[in-house]
Structure formats: C-alpha cells, structure tokens
Amino acid sequence: MSAASITLTHRRPIGERIIERLLFLAAALGVLTTLGIIAVLAFETVEFFLQISPIDFFTGTRWSALIKPQSFGVLALVSGTLLVTAIALVIAVPLGLLAAVLLAEYAGTRFRTIVKPILETIAGVPTIVLGFFGLNFIAPHILRPLLGADNIGVFSALNGGIVVGLLITPLIASISEDAMRAVPRGMREGAFAMGATKFEVVRKVVFPAALSGIMASVILAMSRAIGETMAVVLTVGTKPQFTFDPTESVQTMTAFIVQISIGETAQGSIEFKSLFAVGATLFVMTLALNLLSGWVVRRFRTGYS
Amino acid sequence: MTVEPAEAPPLGGQEGNDAPAIRITALGRERSVEPDARESVIELQDVSCFYGSFRAVRNVDISVAKQRITALIGPSGCGKSTLLRTMNRMNDLVPSYRTEGTILFDGQSLFAPGVDPVAVRRRVGMVFQKPNPFPKSIYDNVAFGPRINGFKGNLDELVEHSLRRAALWDDVKDKLKQSGMALSGGQQQRLCIARTIAVEPEVILMDEPCSALDPRSTLQIEELMAELKQDYTIVIVTHNMQQAARASDTTIFMTMGDDRAGYVVENGETIQIFTNPKHRLTEDYVSGRFG
Amino acid sequence: MTAAAPAARSAPRFEPALMRRKLTGTIFYGACLASIAFLMLALALLLFDVLTRGLPWLDLDFLTHPPSARPARAGVLTSFIGSLEIGVIVGALAFPIGVAAAIYLAEYAADSRLNRLLQTNISNLAGVPSIIYGILGLSVFVRLANLGPTVLAGALTLTLLILPVVIIASIEALRAVPDAQREGAYALGASRWQMVRRSILPAAAPGIMTGIILAMARAIGEAAPLIIIGAFTFVTFVPNPISGQYTVLPIQIFGWAQQPQADFQGISAAAIIVILALMLILNGLAIIVRARLSRHIQW
C-alpha cells in the first residue's frame, strides 16, 4: 500500500482567489462612492462658479435664488443652519450628558430597560415625524403661547432647533455613555476609597477621563444637526436671511436644496446649479467636523495602562 | 493657631458633640507611650458577609490592634478580600451585598443607621491590588482626597509630606506636574499610598498591594509599611506567606469551608502562627501543603 | 526613606462638609432623572399629538386608496407600496454587498494600511448627510445611467446611503466572534473562505441580520434623498418598480403636512401612524431574529 502523498504546498485554488477579489470589490465600492460624491459636487460647483463669483458666494449675506433680484450669498443659508444647530446643541448637550451619566453610573437594570428604549425610539423615529411634531404641536401649543403670537411665527429657527435637539440627544447620550463606561472600575474605587461621594467620583474622575469621547460625541452631533433635512423643512421655513434671532424664520442649506428639488426649476438653470454649490458647502462642513471628532479622540484619549 | 481636636468626629459626620473621648493618632502629634498592645481599633463580632443569599464569609470574630500590621492569609477565594472591603464599607458599592454582625471602629458601630460610608472611608483608607492612579498629575493625585474633604491648610506642604512618607518624594519632586500614570508600577503603588495617607486615615487597608509588582518594589513597599505602622494601623491581605511572615505582627488565617463560605481558622501573633500553629489546617497551609 | 521628623505644629484640619456634598450629589441625580423625564414627556407628547390627530382618519379605506385632492378620499396605498418596494430592493442589494465588504475588511485584509484606509473611508461615509447621497444619486443614477426618477434609482441611492452603516454593524458582529473559532477551523485544514462561511458567518449572523433590518428601517424612513431624485408627492397609481413614477410614505407625509388645512394634517398624522407601525414591526423583527439566531450560540 503506497503512502498517500500529501501536498503541503499548493497554489490557492481559483475559487478562493475569485472570492477574495469579489469581496475586495465590495469593500472598494465605498471608495467609489466617496470619489463619486466628490466628483459630482466638484464638477457641478465649478460650473456654478463659472457664472457666479465664488467671492460673492462665500461672503454674501443675501440669498435669493428664486425671487428676483437674484443673489447667491451662501452665508444667509449657513447662518440659518448654524443658528438651528446652536439651539439644538444647547438642548441636546445637557440632556444627552445627563442621560449618559445616568446610564453609565447610576442606573441599575431596572432603569436601563426604561431609558435605553426611549433613547433608541427617539433615534429611530423618521425625522419627518419630528418635523410634523414641531409644526403641529411645538409651535402652536408651546412656543406661540409662551412667547406671544406676535413675537414668533409658525416657522422659526427656535422650533427647528428644539426638534433637531431632540433628534441628536440620543447620539450624544450613547457615545458619551460608552466613553464613561470605558473608564476602568479601579479608578472609581480609588476615588471612593478616599471618601468621595458618588457625584464627586463622576465629576472629578469619570468625566475628565472620558472627556475626549464626550467631546467627540458633541462634534458628531453637531455634524448630524447640520445635515438634518426633513425635521427643519417643516419647522424653520423658507426665508433665507442672515440673522441670529431664534424667533425668526430662516432657511437652512438642506431645506434650500429640498425646495429647489421640489419646485419647477429647470435643470440647467443657475438656480438649479446653486443646489450643488450649497451641497458642496454642506459636504465640506460635515466632513470637516467628522474628521475633527476623530482627531479629538486620538489626540486627547486618556491612556489606561 | 488652631486647637488640635481632642476627639474624632462621630462617624455620622456631624461635628463634635458628646462622643466618648477617644485618642486619635493625628500626624504631627508627639509620639508618647507605646500604644497598649491589646487596644483594638477595629473589632469584628460574629460578622458574616452575603452577596444576595450566598454567604461568602461566616462568623468572624477578630480584633485589629492599633498601630500594628495585621495580615490576612489564606487560599484563593476564601473571602479575605471580601472581609477586608467590609471594613471600609467598599462592599456597599455592590448592590446585592449585605453584612450581618457588628463591626466596631473606634468603639462605634460601622453599620449603625446614620453612619455614612463616605465618612468612614476617609478614616479607613484602602490601597488596591492593581495600582490605580488617576490620569491626572502626581500633585493632583495626592491632592484629590484633601481637596474633596475640605482641607484647610497648606496643600503643597501636605502633598510633599505625603509623598515623603510614601518614600516617593525624591523620585518625583521635580515632576509633580507629570501624569501619575507615567510612573513605574512600584512608583504608582507608592503614589496610591501617598494619596491615601494624604487624607490622614487611622487605618490603611491593603488588598494584595504587591501582587502586581516586581520583587524589588515589593520589598520597598514592605519597608514602607514598617515605617507607616508608627502612625497608622495596617491590615494587609496577602497571598504571599513569606511576606506575611516578614512584615506583619498579627496573622489571621482563613480558609473556605464546605459550604463555600470563608471562616477564620486561627488568629494570633505572626511568630506563633508560623512556628507553632494550633490548628492542623493552619499548619498545612503555612507549610505549603495546600493553597 | 526616613520620614521627616514630625514637627510640633497644628494638626491640619479637614472640614468634610458631608451634608453639603451629599446635597449637591442628590440635586445632580435629580437633574439626571429630570432629563430622562423630559425626554419621556417629549416622546409622549409626540405620540399623543399624532394619535389624536391621525386615528380618526385611519380606516380601511385609508389603507387601500391612493391619495386624492380630497382628504376624505385619500389613502396611503401607493406610498405604502412604494415604501415596500424600496425597502425590499434596498435590503436585497445592501445585504450581499455590505456583508461581502465587511467580510473582506474584517477577515481578509485585517490591519493593513489599505484596510485602515477603507475603514476610515466608510466611517466618513456614514457621517455624510443623507441629502448629499440624494445629489449623488441624481447625477449618477437618474442622469448618467439614465434611469430617470424611478424606484430603481431611488433604491440604488438609498442602498449607497445605508451601506456604510450595514458594513460597520457587520464588521462589529464579525469581530465579536472569538478568535478561537477561527483557529479551530484553520487547525482542521479549512481555507479562509471555508472558515468564514461555515464557522464565522453563522456565529455573526444575529448581529448582521439585526444590522440589516435596522438599516432597512432607516431607509424606509428617509425622504430627503428621494425628493432630490424626483420622487413625487402626488402619485395616484401603483408604481412600476422599474420605470414608474413613485412616492414613499415619508414623502407623502411631507406633502400632506405642507397643506394648511387641518384635514390634511389629519391624514398626514394617519400616515405617520402607518409608518410608525411599520418601524415597530421592523424593530420587533430585528429583536426576534436576533433572539432566534443566537439561541445556538454560546461562547
């Protein structure tokens, strides 16, 4: 009986290599998508800038695309976006951080089974529903009675800010909670052993140690707020203006893009092309924030030995 | 010039009233008579420790003598750490935990209603197995406890004094602003000791403080303990029998019973435990036949 | 190492001020609870408003009729079917591509520079606003590929949108499988693909399936990208998936909410109830799938 010959070396079978190639292509689709986004935005924006001066675009504070006289100063839209975002952060940062501390430090299983689903529900609701809530409940039943129907209209940056703030609270809460949970138990014990109260342990040990993750969560929430569309479209209005008054109706970059798309705007017109320029501005802003958040984590991360 | 307090504040945290006059060993006091060898600072009377319905430690009756080093030895899992952590109510942090029996600290019951664990822990400090300095500067690590506890006085002086007593001052005096986590293992543990003594406890509990350290650092810490016992009472849990034999005055030997609960087998002067143990189990353990 | 000789000096005093510190702690805890209460209240008010507005309009006719200029005769049939069509196509596309990409990144190319680049890229894509994907889809699928404003173009766009999320969730699920499984398979002579297919994928299946179902739920809730692509807000016929005009529930909700009359707000709310019910079903499905599939897994 001859010994079976066992080959110890062999080329990887064709099947394996094909599979690997296919898998690689799937992963590379991501790169294609990014390149596609950049290419589309860049190309169309350049076309737009052939007709409208970039200086006027980036420094002008009057935006009027559909109503003559036309003006394409994007700062009006940017200020609308940032105003809504700022209000949203004012609401979401305290709410989100308090919820995160509760989940990470105080909550037993009883609490978690209540709190986590609430946060996840808010995060999972389609954003149009939140816009509807702002339009039909917050404005007429809360804002206008509280502030006076003369002082605030149906559409306002404040309304949009509240709704977007609710929207991004779960994001801050969950990322910050993870950051706080990552602080080693031994560190808390050391503080307790010296006679610290629970609040002191949280404030002086856990929170500072988790700070990089917490900051990153806020930056990511800001990016999300800037890119939010449907919730602001129903609440903020279509009145682009450069203002910091939260009771005013404004228009965000995202809402403008929607407005142009819905309307009867001809696809080759300059108004339509401005959509891409605004989109490019939006893309750059959110990309910068996302990269910043990653950098913050890497740079300020507390090393636990 | 402030008057030195004559009595320890009651554990409930209210400022002094008619609590019984008890000597406290505050730093800076003139050392007087050798403390009565039988005077105990912590007494456990019929103490059992439970996690939920599981009894981890049963029926312990021991005394911890003042300004002595007491070692708790025994095989793994016999409840030594649990017992230690009861003494500064660290186990309160575990939701299912409860204690039965009486623990007296300086004559007062540790678990009486109205006793606040936060107040207890300032007076009974703890050093842990794995050094756990905060990701803050060395100075801030040591200053953490005093700041929280409302220290009124020269903080710089207190920090230096604590670091000196922990035999760390010379190593770090030029780099107080550096992160505490940048130190070596042995230095980190001494930093943890420094910050523990900065709040001037009366007792220092040590939960296997050297098991994560190299032999040289271990020896340094043992020498440090011998110095520290002049001012503090020390209770140390250790796996290392030679360490217990070298460093402690009193030894308590525990083991795990058939019901998986730990109990105290023998309790006495270290010399006696190691050379002339009364119980068979003790003899087996110290001669290395089990554990 | 000797201690400094203790000078006769006044003993340092501590003023622990326990009452004040505990009070601060209690107030803080109260604030934490208040924040949760506030969020619960907001959610409750939202549901209350939607239900009181929408339930009166929610009947069988509403579910089986297409929209109409008259609120009394309007229904969500076309938008509901549009949402289902989109959801199914997106799921069918995102599943193989997303899982394949995740397998590559988690199992085949681990820790090379290329891998890190690809992963960073995908993380960034996950953070791009959905409306940008709409712009991409408009240029590439609607115009370049000449698909026109159809369900297919919309589904392709949304697939690109949720792909990063699916990939990230799948990578996490794959990474959660202990290395011991991989080593065991290799030790028996399995090739990499065999190991992945027979050993790792089944173990990671619950996490992967959950991720996909949740991503599909997200896609169904999206409106902005589809608006850019040209989905209409008033579609009265059941859309042909490949060539027809179409609309989806979120866009229908949006269209009705834009009309000032209270009746339109009512049917908009009714449509919201429908989509929330759909979300509930999908989330419930994700939980069931996870529970079912993980029954066999014990590390």
Q: What's the pLDDT at C197?
A: 81
Could you tell me how many residues make up chain B?
Answer: 291
**Res C297 pLDDT > 80:** no
Query: Which of B242-256, B268-282, C44-58, C235-249 has the lowest average pLDDT?
Result: C235-249
Q: Are C246 and C220 in contact (CB under 8 A)?
A: no
What phi and psi, each to the nearest 5 degrees, are found at residue B183? -85, 165
Q: Which chain C residues are Cβ-neighbours of B152 within 8 angstroms?
A: 12-15
Reduce the secondary structure of A132-192 to three states and give it as a string: HHHHHHHHHHHHHHHHCCCCCCCCCHHHHHHHHHHHHHHHHHHHHHHHHHCCCHHHHHHHH
Question: C278 is in which domain, residue-wise?
Answer: 62-294
Q: What is the pTM of this model?
A: 0.86
Q: Which ipTM value was assigned to this complex?
A: 0.90
Q: What's the pLDDT at C26?
A: 93
Q: Which chain B residues are Cβ-neighbours of A200 within 8 angstroms?
A: 148
**Res C95 pLDDT > 90:** yes
Each residue's pLDDT tens digit, B8-59: 444 544 444 443 334 444 443 333 344 455 588 899 999 999 999 899 999 9
From the list A186, A191, A194, the residue facing B130 with the nearest CB is A186
From the list B27, B161, B167, the residue facing C11 with the nearest CB is B27
Question: A29 is in which domain, residue-wise?
Answer: 14-51
**Res C241 pLDDT > 70:** no
Q: What's the pLDDT at A19?
A: 80
Q: What's the pLDDT at B23?
A: 46
Q: Which chain B residues are Cβ-neighbours of C19 within 8 angstroms?
A: 13
Mean pLDDT value of segment C239-259 = 80
**Res A8 pLDDT > 70:** no
Q: What's the pLDDT at B6?
A: 42
Residues 6+ apart with CB under 8 A from B116: B11, B12, B13, C18, C22
Enter the tokens of residue B63.
């005394």
Domain CATH number, residue C259: 1.10.3720.10
Are residues A288 and A230 part of one domain? yes
Among residues C137, C177, C185, C184, the alpha carbon closest in space to that of C157 is found at C137
User: Which one-letter DSSP state was computed for residue A4?
Assistant: P
Domain CATH number, residue A282: 1.10.3720.10
From the list C4, C8, C22, the residue facing B161 with the nearest CB is C4
Q: Which chains touch C (3 or more CB pairs under 8 A)?
A: A, B
Each residue's pLDDT tens digit, A219-272: 999 999 999 999 999 999 888 999 899 889 999 999 999 998 887 787 788 888
Q: What's the pLDDT at B21?
A: 39
The number of folded domains in chain A is 2
Q: What's the pLDDT at A116?
A: 86
CA distance A262 to chain C (A): 7
Each residue's pLDDT tens digit, B181-227: 899 989 999 999 999 999 999 999 999 999 989 999 999 999 999 99
Q: Is A7 a member of any domain?
A: no
Q: What's the pLDDT at B22?
A: 42
From the list C7, C15, C19, the residue facing B28 with the nearest CB is C7
Count of beta carbons in the 10 Å neighbourhood of residue C244:
18
Residue-averaged pLDDT of chain C:
85
Q: Is A9 a member of any domain?
A: no
**Res A170 pLDDT > 90:** yes
For an interface test with A, which of C53, C135, C192, C267 has the most A Cβ atoms less than 10 Å from its Cβ? C135
Among residues A265, A203, A276, the alpha carbon closest in space to that of A57 is found at A276
| Percent of chain C scoring above 90 in pLDDT | 44
Are residues A193 and A163 part of one domain? yes
Task: Tell me, yes or no, if B234 comes closer than 8 A to chain A by beta carbon.
Answer: no
Q: Is A58 a member of any domain?
A: no
Mean pLDDT value of segment B147-168 = 90
Count of beta carbons in the 10 Å neighbourhood of residue B31:
11
**Res C154 pLDDT > 70:** yes
Give the CATH class of B40-132+203-286. Answer: alpha beta
Record: contact C109-A198, CB cut-off 8 A:
no
DSSP string covering C134-192:
HHHHIIIIIIIS---SSHHHHHHHHHHHHHHHHHHHHHHHHHTS-HHHHHHHHHTT--H
Q: Which of residues 66-105 of B touch C (CB under 8 A)?
A: none
Give the residue, A263 or C248, on which the prediction is more confident.
C248
Record: contact C129-A15, CB cut-off 8 A:
no
Q: Which residues face B124 on adjacent strands?
A: B203
Q: Is C111 a member of any domain?
A: yes
Each residue's pLDDT tens digit, C97-128: 999 899 888 887 767 888 888 888 999 999 99
The number of folded domains in chain C is 1
CA distance B190 to chain A (A): 13
Q: Which of residues 1-30 of B touch A (CB under 8 A)?
A: none
Q: Are A237 and A218 in contact (CB under 8 A)?
A: no
Are residues A128 and A22 part of one domain? no
From the list C45, C118, C128, the residue facing A37 with the nearest CB is C128
Q: Is A305 a member of any domain?
A: no
Burial of B6 (0-12, 13-18, 19+ CB in 10 A): exposed
Are residues A24 and A98 part of one domain? no
For an interface test with C, which of B118, B197, B229, B230 has the most C Cβ atoms less than 10 Å from its Cβ? B118
Give the residue, B101 or C148, on which the prediction is more confident.
B101
Are residues A87 and A20 part of one domain? no
Are residues A67 and A41 part of one domain? no
From the list C32, C163, C279, the residue facing A106 with the nearest CB is C32
Q: Which chain C residues are Cβ-neighbours of A175 within 8 angstroms?
A: none
Tally of helices (H runs) and strands (E runs) in chain B: 10, 11
Q: What's the pLDDT at A304?
A: 67
Q: Is C28 a member of any domain?
A: no
